[in-house]
Chain A
Amino acid sequence: MAEAFWAFATVFTQLDLLGLVALGTFAGIYIGAIPGLSVTMAVSILISFTFAWDVYPAISLMIGIYMGGVYGGSRTAILLNIPGAPSAIATALDGYPMAQKGDAGVAIGVTTVMSFFGGLVGILVLAVAAPVIADFALRFQPRDYMLLALLGILLVGSLSGGSLVKGIFAGALGIGIGSVGMDPLTFTERFTFDFPVLRQGVSFIAVMIGLFGVSEALMQLRHLDTPIIKQKIGRIVPSWGTIRKHLPLSLQTSSIGVIIGALPGTGGDIAALLAYDHAKRVTKNPEVPFGQGAMEGLIAPETANNAAVGGAFIPMITLGIPGDAVTAIMIGALFIHGLNPGPMLMIDQPDMFWFIVGALFTANVFMLIFGLTGVRVFTKIVEMPRAVLIPLIMLLSIVGAYAVNNSVTDVYWMLGFGVFGYFMKQYDYPLGPVVLGVILSRLLDDNWRRAIISVRESVPGFMAGVLGSPLSTVLFVSVILIFVSQTPLWGWIKRRVT
């Protein structure tokens, strides 16, 4: 136990490690905030950069960037309605309306504190229950992933705003976009129309930057002459009352974050969206309606995506199985530094586990500090003249889309979706479901096929599998309940019962 404590405390006792975590977290916030600079990208560059270093400093820097980056995505989502990373898509839904009312400072304050809280829950679960959760996560079968994807697709209802029909259209379009290219399971070409460039599919980041970045910038062009909203400079740190009031919700959404983060194959983006939906469902009387600046709509995704960080490390440390894209790269980094991530790592090198927990904890604290300082300067971004801000957003969008795969094709996709998104906004089609569809497309498609192949294409066999497993049954019943409650069927049943 004493060794575990000292490994945990390594980060605070060694000044250079502490400095690296701080530096990583600080850089991470900016990397996360800029659409097109992603944590995945930054961490893979760091592999070469830290090649000659010892393993502890290298991991410290990566963990800092990871923690800061996941949080940083919320900044641009709140201030500009442009999520810096996929996991901040839900944050924009209520964060941006708050900024429009001049409450950007409050929104950032709540986001920061709640991200810290979510991160803390994630780290705590990692420290206390990693083996249990990892075992649970491993038990998810293809049919469970498929049901989880269906559960995610039902979020369309929450993300649709005005018109559910348009929302379903947008969601289905997203699923279609996600399946463009060479199918990774059978190498069949889908929607490629014999164009070689279409074989690689459509880069999801390019779609996101186009739909949120460029289309928003184009929209803003129409408001060149509207006066810029002055941000209120008041209290940034939320009051204890506010925090206490939302504590139950934060705990629930953090738990969602940890579990979804721990599942290999799902990460913070899906966690944040599911948490947003959950908040919308359980909050009966929000002070401000959802979509117009509800605090709950900000708390849910931000606690969940930071809790997912701790979650993603669970299968990585205990089993050597990545919980998401970033932890996959970190496994590679551990290999390069001569470690063997796998089920034996916890037994052979328990120090590494406790060191990672310690580094995550430290990064979380730095995130809180850096998040709450300098907010006033940050909110000035919104007060920048639009004539400068709009071209800048456009250039950043282009660079960001190009950087994903070093390909001009992605820039064209990004611009195409920017223009398309502009028209969708004009005619009240929600954009959120498109991105949701793209995120979930592979999860749904691949696992549906695996699940149905495993039972030799038999639908009764599939149902027997679902009902034979408690986990699948719970997921299945949730899908049915949420589906029924979102459709007119619910009203009909209610009328019948009463």
Chain B
Amino acid sequence: MSVKLMGAVIALGLSAGAAFAEYPAKEIQGIIQWGAGGSTDVVMRSVTPHAEKALGGSVVMQNVTGGVGAIALNQVADAEADGYTVLMGAENPLLYKVMGLGDKDYSDFTPITLLARGTPILVAGKDAPFNTYPEMLAYVQANPDTVRFGSTGPGGLPSVVTAMITSTAELPVIFVPYDGDGPALTALQGGAIDVMPAVFGVAIEGIRAGTMKPLALFDVEPMAAAPEIPTIVSTNPEFGAMLPWGPFFGVFVKNGTPDDVVAKLRAAYSEATKAPDFVELMAGRGFTMMDITGDEAQAFLAKWQQTTSWLMQDAGLAKTSPEAFGITRP
């Protein structure tokens, strides 16, 4: 008896049936690039249930961590381009090529939607001897190699913000590495580090409670959720050219996915991003809603990649020059 043959017969019968069945005919697998409880995870888990409703199918979400998200990206890239494996990611893949972390990035994927963008903020411990960005810079330069800056691996938000600062001023500090802005902000509150660039949403509760103090918001406009925090351009207009900049979240499928499937997913996620409780959640955490797709999303990704890759290159953090991948200097 051939089990394989039997299976094949069943498969044939059912896939013939499935071909007529409308997408989604089974669960969609959503691969989340970052660990459970992180920003990407929380955003994806709160938007997807709304999308499921619009889609009339279920999305099984799975955290695939490691390699700065490259493992998840490759897992989706290796799956069939049938819309049953969806990548739920953040900005990191756009830097894989220059950072030598992989040879694939979002150019191998079709964006379903870029949901929202976060805003960086520079925070200091509550006992730090400075209260604003200019004061911090003056203190750091007067006391070289004593202030401890939290950092994460090259390419993460802290390294990009730090690169922005070093491209405009001398910054003689000690960089203490952490594996995410959550643990680093914990260390900041415990006094293990003094200053940390982080995402607004992760730092806001600590700022409200006074366990850390904001130095500057890295954006051109103040945040509606916290208008009292000064923007960096209000004191140092030289940052204006590099902003607005921020990490973002997006849902992607592999290139070559059938157009009708992409259209269905787009419609579902676009509806989901308008759900009131999702909008409220994002606003509360200081995320700027985008919900862009198609050419607009591609243009955003290209511009983001260009700006950030060259910042990394100029800070001496890139392994390969962006020019090698056809990314021109802005």
A binding-site residues for B, Cβ under 8 Å: 40, 43-44, 47-48, 51-52, 138-142, 181-182, 184-187, 196, 199-201, 264-265, 319-322, 325, 328-332, 335-336, 338, 340-344, 405-407, 446, 449-450, 453-454, 456
Contact = CB atoms under 8 A, between A and B. Distances in A.
Given A52-B49, A185-B178, A329 B36 contact: yes
Given A40-B36, A325-B36, A453-B174, A344 B209 contact: yes
A142 B193 CA distance: 10
What 4 pairs between A and B have smallest CB-CB spacing? A342-B205, A200-B66, A343-B209, A328-B37
**Chain B CB within 10 A, most for which of A187, A405, A450:** A187
Nearest to A182: B67
Interface of B: 29, 35-38, 41-42, 45-46, 48-49, 61-68, 70-71, 74-75, 99, 101-102, 145, 148, 152-155, 174-179, 182-183, 186-187, 189-193, 204-206, 208-211, 277, 280-281, 284-285
A460 to B, nearest CB: 16
Given A48-B49, A329-B36, A340 B183 contact: no
Contact of B66 (A44, A47, A181): A181
A335 B45 CA distance: 11
A142 B150 CA distance: 13
Contacts of A140: 190
A450 B190 contact: no
B46 A51 contact: yes
A51 B192 contact: no
Contact of A264 (B45, B64, B102, B186): B186
25 contacts: A44-B37, A44-B41, A44-B63, A138-B190, A141-B192, A142-B187, A184-B179, A185-B178, A187-B153, A187-B154, A199-B67, A200-B66, A321-B189, A328-B182, A338-B277, A338-B281, A338-B284, A341-B205, A342-B205, A343-B211, A406-B75, A450-B176, A454-B148, A454-B176, A456-B145
Nearest to A345: B205
A378 to B, nearest CB: 30
Contacts of A44: 36-37, 41, 45, 63
B208 A342 contact: yes
A344 B186 contact: no
B203 to A, nearest CB: 10
A332 B36 CA distance: 8
Given A185-B177, A319-B211, A264 B183 contact: yes
A40 to B, nearest CB: 7
Nearest to B208: A344
Contacts of B102: 196
B37 A322 contact: yes
Given A332-B38, A456-B174, 5 more contacts: A44-B45, A186-B177, A342-B209, A450-B187, A454-B193
Contacts of A142: 176, 187, 192
Contacts of B208: 342-344
A27 to B, nearest CB: 18
Contacts of B70: 199
A343 B206 contact: yes
B179 A138 contact: no
A51 B205 contact: no
A185 B175 CA distance: 11
B215 to A, nearest CB: 19
Contacts of B37: 44, 322, 325, 328-332
A450 B192 contact: yes
A246 to B, nearest CB: 35
B36 A184 contact: no
A210 B90 CA distance: 33
A344 B211 CA distance: 10
Contacts of B192: 141-142, 450, 454
A201 B75 CA distance: 15
A186 B191 CA distance: 22
B21 to A, nearest CB: 24
A335 B201 CA distance: 11
**Chain A CB within 10 A, most for which of B37, B178, B204:** B37
